[in-house]
């Protein structure tokens, strides 16, 4: 959309002035854009810090809720669904390094099962 301009000295000076104004406006807008980008990045960093704080608070609250559920009895209802097994007998004594407490428990359970089978 170019307008036909008569090639006079007055029009040349007016066009140069208009070009200089456009360049100055472009530079101002470019600086403004850079400043706004910096401010936006600062706001994003601030929002990330707040989000991290919220996440940490939620984790602590969830852990506290779990502990409250365990201590106040929500797990009590669940524990009643598991049958009681009184057949387990655990004794404490020192074992050689190659034997752990779990292997000793397995050995005792095998002996008990073999004694119970006719």
Please count the other Cβ atoms lying within 10 Å of the Cβ belonging to residue 93: 6
Percent of the chain at pLDDT exceeding 90: 42
Q: What is the Cβ-side half-sphere exposure of residue 66, based on CA atoms within 13 angstroms?
A: 6
108 has pLDDT over 90: no
Q: Each residue of 72-102: pLDDT tens digit?
A: 766 666 767 777 777 767 666 665 555 555 6
* Cα 47 → chain centroid: 14
* Mean pLDDT for the stretch of residues 49-74: 87
Look at residues 108, 70, 114 and name the one whose alpha carbon lies nearest to residue 92.
108
* Mean pLDDT for the stretch of residues 27-49: 95
Q: What angle do CA 78, 80, 82 make, to 5 degrees?
A: 85
Look at residues 92, 87, 93, 95 and name the one whose alpha carbon lies nearest to residue 115.
87
Q: What does the pLDDT read at residue 75?
A: 66
The structure's pTM equals 0.46
Alpha-carbon distance 30 to 42, whole Å? 19
Q: Torsion over CA of 89, 95, 98 and 103, rounded to 10 degrees?
A: 0
Domain parsing of the chain, residue ranges = 9-84
């Amino acid at each position: 959309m170019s307008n036909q301009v008569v090639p006079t000295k007055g029009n040349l000076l007016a066009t140069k002035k208009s070009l200089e104004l456009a360049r100055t406006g472009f530079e101002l807008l470019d600086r403004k854009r850079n400043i706004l980008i910096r401010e936006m990045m600062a706001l994003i960093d601030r929002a990330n810090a707040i989000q991290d704080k919220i996440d940490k608070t939620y984790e602590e609250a969830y852990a506290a809720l779990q502990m409250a559920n365990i201590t106040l009895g929500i797990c009590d209802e669940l524990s009643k669904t598991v049958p009681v097994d009184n057949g387990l007998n655990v004794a404490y004594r020192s074992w050689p390094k190659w034997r752990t407490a779990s292997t000793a428990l397995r050995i005792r359970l095998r002996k008990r099962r073999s004694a119970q089978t006719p």
